[in-house]
Structures are given as C-alpha cells and as structure tokens.
Amino acid sequence: MEYFLSENLRIEFAKAKKAFMEANKIVVVSHRSPDGDAIGSNLALKMGLENIGKIVVSACVDPVSEANLFLKGSGDFVNNFNYDDFDLIVAVDCGDIKLFKFHEMKPEILTGNTPFLNIDHHESNNFFGSLNMVDPHACATCEIVYKFFRFCGWKISIDIATSLLCGIYFDTGSLMHSNTSGEVYKIAGDLVSKGADFKLVGKELFHTTPVNRLKLLGRILERTHVNEEGVTISAISRDDYESLGANSKDTSGAIDYLNAVPDSKYCVLLAEDDKGIVKGSLRTRRNDINLSEVASQWGGGGHPKASGFGIEGKLVPVFHWKVVSEKEGDAHAVEF
C-alpha cells in the first residue's frame, strides 16, 4: 500500500531508526491518563523493537484503563523507571511535555546525554525531544508508528496490527471524525488484512458500557446547556462519581454526545479527577474554530477540532438568572 511521507518526516524517521538501532535498552512512555492511542502506539513500538532484539519497557505514571486491557502487553506497564538503565527514552502521544510527567522526577531526561525521542501527532507539540517524529497531520500517533514500521521494513504482526488499529480507531472516533482521511481508511484496511481484530477493538473501545457509566453519561447529558456564545457545556464532579460508583475515566466518549448539538460553536466537558485537577475536553465540527488556541488560554492544547486542558482546583456550580421583558421592542433586561 502506498502512503504519503513528507521529506521532513522521512529525515526524522531516518534519525529515529538510527537511534533505535544503536540502543539496546529502551523505555517507551505514554502520557498520563493514557487513552487508546497512547497505549496502542506504545505497545506496537515495544513489540516491534523486541522483534529486532531490543530490550523494551513500557511506562506510564497512570495505570492502563480497562478499555485497553485487551491489548497484548497492556499488563506489563511500569509506573517508574531508572534513567541510567536505558540507552533511549521515547515519549508517545504526548502533545505537551507536561503530559510526560517523568521529567519532573527525572530532569536529566531533558538535560542528560541519553537521546529523547518524541513521537506525536498533536498540533500543540513544541518538539521537546532531542529527536522529534511529529506529524500534526496524522490522525493518531499510531498512524506515525505504522508509517515508521513501513519505512524501516519491520514486520507488523497480528498483535502489532491490533494495537495500531486500536489507536487509530480511538482517535478517529471509530473512523467517523473529520481527521479520518482516505489514507487513514487504507491504513486501517491494511492493518485488518494483516490480522488486526477490528471487531474486538470496536467492542472494547466503543461498545462495552457498564451501568454506572451509563448513569454517569445520563447526568452529564442532563446538565448540558448551550450558553449565549453558542458553546455547549456540561460538567461532572467527584461527588457525582462517588454517588454513581464511577470514576473520571468513565467520562470517556461523553464529549462526542455534546459535539452532536447542532449549530454549536464547540463543546466543553469539565470533569474533576481524583488528583485535584479539573480537566476540560473540547470538540468542534466547525472549520473556522481552532480549539488548540482556545485550550491554550488555560495552558492546554491539542488539535484544531479536539483539544483539552487541566487546571488544579474543583468545580463549583454557579447559578445565573436573567429577567427579560416579553413586550415587543422592549430591550430591558435584569440579571441576577
């Protein structure tokens, strides 16, 4: 299958391949609160490197979510590692160095002599690695890893194909988001032809929903409203999780329902996590709005149509009422 690869990315691929071939022990790190693309790209890379004789460890500060435990190797992640044990450190799907987290405990990752490879597809990525395989045009980090495997001539086994398809399927919203190009369909088709279990991927990512998650979704939808600026908003707190027997990871997928509201500029879901952070997820279907710029107001980023941010604190509801005259032509209004 033919695929597009820019000259700049081809150069970065060559540098990364050289780094991988020269290294013996490699740690691959997924971003905090890892999703399907962060886990899928990590495991695919790990298996591919092990196939050529490398010793590879998968790491993440947070555990793998239940939705991704079906992937081979998902139970082998570690939540810490010794910097001096590795010849190469790799970050996958980290749109911002803040999401990597390990550099806060090990600043030598950014200042030491060990190569630091950054593989990502987010527009907000500022090329924080000493090596950078970054393509903001890719639908997922797994798309970049797929092309890298093809560039290197590495075998894509059934398990690798399933991991790559998981990331692509997740980040494209089951191949339905606007980042799903014709090439993405061809890549997905090639992965299926190599044995990727697309039925299992679809079932685990989008068609397995426990009752507590359904109730949480109901509460999110119940609170949904469109403000005067045309922004669709909802929120969920830690108290909601406790009362419903859910957690912050159970909000996955809820943002897509908010994004279905017609004529909305964009949508925002605010959700507390168990670490004192309020996370904002933003989505839009419009081409005239760049959500990466919107999210940057609160220290976040991402893609033009899908971004996010995190702020320390908690959610506090604020009630707002307005009295508007019903008399025709009377513009008088009182706000409370």
Question: Considering the domain boundaries, does residue 60 fall inside one?
Answer: yes
Clarify whether residues 197 and 216 are in a common domain.
no
Cβ atoms of 167 and 36 within 8 Å: the answer is yes
Check if the beta carbon of residue 118 is closer than 8 Å to that of residue 94. yes
Q: Could you tell me if residue 90 is inside a domain?
A: yes
Compute the average pLDDT of residues 235-253.
Answer: 88
**201 and 58, same domain (yes or no):** yes
CB atoms within 10 A of CB 151: 16
CATH of the domain at 240: 3.10.310.30
Q: Return the closest-CA partner of residue 183 out of 308, 6, 44, 307.
A: 6
- CA-CA distance, 287 to 285, in Å (whole number)? 7
Residue 336 has pLDDT above 70, yes or no: no
Q: Indicate whether 48 belongs to any domain.
A: yes
On whether both 96 and 125 belong to a single domain, the answer is: yes
Digit-coded pLDDT (tens) for 164-193 = 999 999 999 889 888 899 999 999 999 999
The per-residue pLDDT for range 189-206, each reduced to its tens digit, is: 999 999 999 999 999 888
Instruction: Determine the structural domain holding residue 240 and report its residue range.
Output: 211-312
CA-closest candidate to residue 259, choices 235, 233, 287, 278: 233
Taking residues 132-155, report their average pLDDT. Answer: 97
Mark which of 184, 205, 226 sits at the end of a domain: 205
Q: What is the pLDDT of residue 26?
A: 98
Name residue 2's amino acid: E
Rounded Cα distance between 282 and 255, Å, is 8
Q: Are residues 195 and 233 in the same domain?
A: no
Q: What's the pLDDT at 184?
A: 97
Is the domain of 84 the same as that of 105? yes
The answer to whether position 2 is within a domain reads no
Q: Bigger pLDDT: 274 or 92?
A: 92
Cα torsion angle, 301, 296, 264, 183, sign? negative
pLDDT, tens only, 55-113? 999 999 999 988 899 999 999 999 999 999 999 999 999 999 999 999 999 999 999 99
Q: Read off the tokens for 92.
A: 């996958």
Q: Which of 158, 188, 205 is the last residue of a domain?
A: 205
Rounded to whole angstroms, the Cα distance separating 203 from 110 reads: 39
Look at residue 237 and tell me whether its pLDDT is greater than 70. yes
Based on the fold, state whether residues 124 and 174 are members of the same structural domain.
yes
**Does any domain span residue 223?**
yes
Domain match, 75 and 138 both? yes
The Cα 160–Cα 146 span in angstroms is 9
Query: How many domains are there within the chain?
Result: 2
Q: Is the pTM of this model over 0.85?
A: no
Query: Is residue 108 a part of any domain in this protein?
Result: yes
Same domain, 105 and 251: no
Asked if residue 198 is part of any domain, the answer here is yes
Same domain, 102 and 180: yes
Give the helix/strand (H/E) hosting 141: helix 141-152
147, amino acid identity? K
Whole-angstrom distance, CA of residue 188 vs CA of residue 305: 21
Is 168 contained in some domain?
A: yes
Which residues touch 203 (CB under 8 Å, ≥6 apart)? Answer: none
Tokens representing 307 are 């971004």
Q: In terms of domains, do 94 and 137 share one?
A: yes
Do residues 301 and 324 make contact, with C-beta atoms less than 8 angstroms apart? no
